[in-house]
Amino acid sequence: MMGKVTKLALTSRVIVLVVQLLANFATPDHKPDVFRMPQSEGPKKNGPFPWLDELVLQSLSGLRHWDGEYFLHIASNLYTYENTLAFYPLYPVVVRHVAQACQHLGIPLSRDALILLVAVALNVLIFCKTANVLYKLTQRMFNDHNKSWNAALIFCFNPASIFFSAAYSETFFAFASFSLMLECMRSEKDFRTLRLGAALTGCFVCRSNGLLTLGFPLYFLARHILLSTSSVQRCWQLFKMGLAMLVALGILHTYYFYIYRLYCLPDVKVQHAQHVVDYAKERSYLISGQASVGSPWCGYTLPFPYTYVQSHYWDVGFLRYYKWKQLPNFLLALPMLLFMHWHCYDYIRKLVANTWSKISPSEYQGILKEHISFPFVLHAAVLTLVCTLYVHIQVSTRLLASATPVFYWFAADYMPNTFQLSFRSKAGALFIWCLTYSLVGTVLFSNNYPWT
């Protein structure tokens, strides 16, 4: 079955790549006044075959727009501008180092072309692995091959599909999150501390909302302690989980210290290419290595830049996006938000109704064993609420599609057990929504138009 899931995932990525290629060549790009990775005005440093560079850059140019420009800039230049601190390092740093390795191996491409190619190729590779992890996670949760297949199918053609191939961190985050959840669900004899620690670290350093995934090891650790009958087992599990969480948090704070050092310590000086400096002046960006200029977050008790950068550069905050001019973006995000709000509410309502009478010291073990999906739905509900109230509403679809398997589990419940799909059914409506968003989103995004 894993091979079948991999073929499905790879096919979906080929479709996205072909559609973006055709759309990008057929329609001229929209040119909004947004961040673009600064380029040197001097002669381009082409590889040994300039035509090959041009082929790669033109063929994949539809996959670098919007936030992709930030990720590619970080992969090429690291954190030169303060506004780039909104983007966590896992994806761009991996792209950077893989591209450098390819250069050392003699791949005949320029640096820019190689970074773009690696950014897309890694996402395709990790996407296939993520589809398999989601299948395994669903199978472990429900022991239902049909539901597991349908969840993987919906993932491969999810409404935010373009963002899983473009130079975005969605694929990496989904892989880290689903892998962490799968490791948390393993029995004690199959539990692997190193894998759990690696997955948790990946969540932390990939996206800001990765901190919420800390709830999974905490919940399953508490669950194991409550269900275990052996004091030795409890202590050993507590030690392993605790060690994994401490290491992950330590690595995250190493990144925070690196950023603090770049932007807040006056004795740190950074040499930048002239075109990077010129672009900073043109756009009024604060550049790294200029602590004398200063930034308010450097003086915070906990000097973490993310909240300040999001508020200062993107006006992110509680209900700040509730403006009439944002109505089109609300309409784009509405299907995902309504779907998730309703199903999370319905699940929690039924859970409370079914367990209220069982809440007693003698019944808690049965509740923990029976409702193992509860932390997943609670996590999804919190994310959905945050999307509704705080973030730029149009990112809700891709944020939820990459952060929680619950969307795919709820959606899989509507899918038929056979290949006969009625377009007038709920499954048909779900299929049309996913397919429409996948295709329209790919066309619009690849031509630099706003998309959810």
Would you say residue 380 lies in a domain? yes
Instruction: Specify the DSSP class assigned to residue 304.
Output: -
pLDDT class of 43 with cuts at 50, 70, 90: low
Return d(Cα 233, Cα 224) in angstroms, integer: 9
Would you say residue 314 lies in a domain? no
Percent of the chain with pLDDT over 90: 72
The arithmetic mean of pLDDT across residues 411-434, rounded, is 81
Q: Which residues pair with 81 in a beta bridge?
A: 287
Distance from chain centroid for Cα 174: 5
Mapped onto helix, strand or coil, the DSSP state of residue 287 is: strand
Return d(Cα 279, Cα 276) in angstroms, integer: 5
Q: Which residues pair with 287 in a beta bridge?
A: 81
- For the chain, give the longest Cα–Cα distance: 75
Would you say residue 118 lies in a domain? yes
Would you say residue 325 lies in a domain? yes
Assess contact for 216 and 375: CB atoms under 8 A: yes
12, two tokens = 């979906």
Report whether pLDDT(230) > 80: no
Q: How many CA atoms lie within 13 A of 218 on its CB side?
A: 8
Q: What is the pLDDT of residues 44-86, one digit of tens each?
A: 666 777 889 999 999 999 999 999 999 999 999 999 999 999 9
The arithmetic mean of pLDDT across residues 371-390, rounded, is 95
Block residue for tokens 């893989």? 98
pLDDT class of 140 with cuts at 50, 70, 90: very high
Return d(Cα 241, Cα 200) in angstroms, integer: 11
- Helices 193-204, 231-264: axis angle to 10 degrees equals 30
Q: What is the pLDDT of residues 165-200, one digit of tens each?
A: 999 999 999 999 999 999 998 876 667 889 999 999
pLDDT the model gives residue 351: 87
Would you say residue 295 lies in a domain? no
**Can you give 51-80 as a three-state secondary structure string?**
HHHHHHHHHCHHHCCCHHHHHHHHHHHCCC
Would you say residue 42 lies in a domain? yes
- Of 98 and 43, which is predicted with more confidence? 98
* Distance from the first to the final alpha carbon of the chain: 32
Whole-structure pTM value: 0.94
pLDDT class of 292 with cuts at 50, 70, 90: low
pLDDT the model gives residue 92: 98
Would you say residue 270 lies in a domain? no
The arithmetic mean of pLDDT across residues 257-263, rounded, is 95
Supply the range of the domain harboring residue 206: 2-257+321-446
Return d(Cα 431, Cα 159) in angstroms, integer: 10
Number of separate domains in the chain:
1
Would you say residue 193 lies in a domain? yes
Comparing C-alpha atoms, which of 184, 197, 194 is closest to residue 224?
184
Report whether pLDDT(371) > 80: no
Report whether pLDDT(151) > 60: yes
The arithmetic mean of pLDDT across residues 226-237, rounded, is 75
Distance of CA 18 to CAs 7, 89, 162, 319, 433, Å? 16, 29, 11, 38, 20
Average model confidence (pLDDT) across the chain? 91
Lowest mean pLDDT among 169-183, 246-260, 369-383, 393-407: 369-383
